[in-house]
Amino acid sequence: MLMLNRYRPRLQISDFIVEDAIAVRGSRPSMDVVGICPPEPRKKVVTFCAEENAAFEKQYLRDDISLCADARTCASMPYRDLSSAPDPQVVGELFGGLLVRLDRRLSKLERIVTEAISHKNRAG
């Protein structure tokens, strides 16, 4: 997903990717969240930002939302070195699911446009 961000996707594309990943993998262990930044720098950032996050949370967020809890979870998540090649199966699932969903959306749009043109031609 980080690589896709350079193309400035609409948020909906990243939503599709996450939804598809959950649908395909469910809660299997391979779906565990991992960090791409080593643990020590993550812990330093979380510690450095703790006061600001707590103040922001208190002023702007509802009681059931916690930046601090999310930050602590982030700081302790497992680390995976991304310098090795990704699993081809995962890449295929990711982009295959995305392409299928986008194709369905384009198909629906094509039907709507075709019907609108047909209706316009019949009307006059």
Handedness of CA 28, 33, 38, 43 (dihedral sign): negative
Query: In this predicted model, what pLDDT tens digit does every residue of 46-97 receive, in sequence order?
Result: 888 888 888 888 888 777 777 666 666 666 667 766 667 777 777 777 777 7
In this prediction, residues 87-113 reach a mean pLDDT of: 82
Contact 34/80 with Cβ under 8 angstroms?
A: yes
| Weakest mean pLDDT among 1-5, 19-23, 29-33 | 29-33
Both tokens of residue 54? 């707590």
Given pLDDT bands bounded at 50, 70 and 90, which one contains residue 34?
A: low
